[in-house]
Amino acid sequence: MSKIVLITGASSGMGLATSKYLANNNFIVYATSRDISKLSNLNKTNIIPLSMDITSQESINRAVDIIYNKHKRVDILINNAGYGLVSTIEDMDEDEMLNQYNVNVFGLLRVCKATIGIMRKQNSGIIINISSFLGKIGLPLLTLYNSSKYAVEGITDSLRHELKDFNIRVHSILPGFFDTQFARDNLVTNLQTFDENSAYANLVSKLTPIIIEQINNGNDAQEVALMILKIINNDKFPVRATVGDKAKKFLPMRKELSDEDFERRVRQYYNI
């Protein structure tokens, strides 16, 4: 019997690559997006496009009900949807601050809330949270994004304890920079921070070109899809997996060095 997968943010990048890869490996994949028109190219037999807005519990519940009413189960949840705000703390406004967490953190929690009860009753399930290597590393201008991914890491750790008795595994994947639509479509910039007269203009001019270049020349999203299948197939898989050059470079270093030494390495690498 094919396992049922629910994945958020499936219209591009890692979500799209994972949807196609799992479908090709005999999973039934419900590929969701707020804008279902972006899923019109997903016409494979095992991929079912589904409209879902992760900022709305009602929209999430409606989508999960569609899946459950047809299959009576949800085997795998992949929390992939998210975006990055590029702004200083000084410049960001209230809406930017709340929206970043509403999608990256509260959106993830809403989808978990809607699916955990199903998994608990079936006494099985896997939740895979797509985090970021920036969930372990601070960078300027990305404070809200970084901290949202730090939160995802905390959610992963706590949920593992909470769901252990119900045979539900919880994992996170911490990708480095990948060549997806992220830099082009999923980075939101604050106009004040990027104004040429900003007090932070020097920092912006040095850091943002490096970050965008690293994203646009990053690893292939297919690597994340391959890692997700490995997690699904191995019930002894570690809590976390790193994928991509930057993640593999910085995260082991983060464990080995003191906070101060690691900060110096990051500053030196990014010339900040």
Q: Which residues contact 77 (CB under 8 A, 6 or more apart)?
A: 5, 6, 7, 111, 112, 115, 119, 125, 126, 127, 128
Cα separation, 21 vs 246, whole angstroms: 23
- Active-site residue flag, 145: yes
Query: Which residue in 21, 145, 150, 200 is the catalytic one?
Result: 145
Helix axes 13-24, 222-233, angle to 10 degrees: 50
Tokens in use for 215?
A: 């994203």
What is the three-class DSSP state of 169? strand
User: CB–CB of 118/73 below 8 Å?
Assistant: yes
Cα separation, 75 vs 10, whole angstroms: 17
Please identify every residue annotated as catalytic: 145
